[in-house]
Amino acid sequence: MPARTFSISQDGQGIYNLEGELSIHELDEFKAFLEESLKGAEEVPISLAKVRFIDTAALQLLIAFKRRLEPEVKLRISAVSAEVEDILSLCGLKAALM
């Protein structure tokens, strides 16, 4: 297993900042985070501004959560990095996620 380069932190405005490479290897942690942060929340703002890479599996998980929650709870992607933006347009999944 490669060295972990992924972390999650919450800033002063309550936005969850994801950082590093979000890949299939982080899914367990990522899923646990999503489930935890969603409890009782009306909106979960997530920033991908510091994510340098995201893979298909991680995108799928985000989409799955988004589909399950909405419209009651909003999973909001507040910002994306240029890299993520490129990936989203490459795979055409922007509409499904944003």
Partner 1 sequence: MNEQEEVLEIFFSESDDLLKLAEESLLSLESTPESMPDIEQLFRSVHTLKSSAAMVGFMNISDYAHLLETLLERLRSRKLDVTKNLITILLSSIDFIRSMVDRVSQGETEEAAPGVLDERKDQVKRYLGIDAMDAPGEKFGPPAKEATKEPPEEFSFYRIDLAFRKDLFYSGQDPILVLLGLSELGEFVEVIPDLSEFPDFESFCMYDLYISWRVIIKTNRSYEDLEDVFMFVKDDNDIRIKNVTKNYREGIDIGLAEKKLGEVLLETGKITAGVLTDALNKQKKLGEVLVDDGRIEPEELQKAVALQEESRKVYRKTTIRVDVKKLDNLVNLAEEMGIGVSKVLMLFEKYAGHGQIEMLEEIENLLKVNREFEERVARVRMFPLEGTFQRFQRMVRDLAFKQNKEIKVISAGLDTELDKEVIEHISDPLKHIVRNCLDHGIETAEERQVKGKAPSGIIELKAYQRGGSIFIEISDDGKGIDLMDIRQKALEKGWIQPDQVLSKEALLRFIFMPGFSTSSKVTELSGRGVGMDVVKTQIDQLGGTIDIETEKDRGTRFTLCLPLTFALMDVLHVMVHDNSYMVPLQAVLETERFDKGLVKRFGAEERVYPFHDDYLPLVDIAKILNTGVPSAGDNTSALVFVDTGKKAFGIPVEQVLEPRPVVVKSLETNYRTIKGIAGATILGDGSVSLVLDLLGFEEIFFQHLFEEAG
User: Considering only CA atoms, which of 89, 90, 24 is closest in space to residue 62?
Assistant: 24
Structure tokens at 1: 């297993």
Is 63 one of the binding residues for partner 1 (CB under 8 A)? yes
Residues 31-50 vs partner 1: string with x where CB under 8 A?
x-------------------
Is 55 one of the binding residues for partner 1 (CB under 8 A)? yes
Is 61 one of the binding residues for partner 1 (CB under 8 A)? yes
Rounded to whole angstroms, the Cα distance separating 82 from 88 reads 10
Is 60 one of the binding residues for partner 1 (CB under 8 A)? yes
The site for partner 1 (CB under 8 A) is made up of 24, 27, 31, 55-57, 59-61, 63-65, 67-68, 87, 89-93, 96
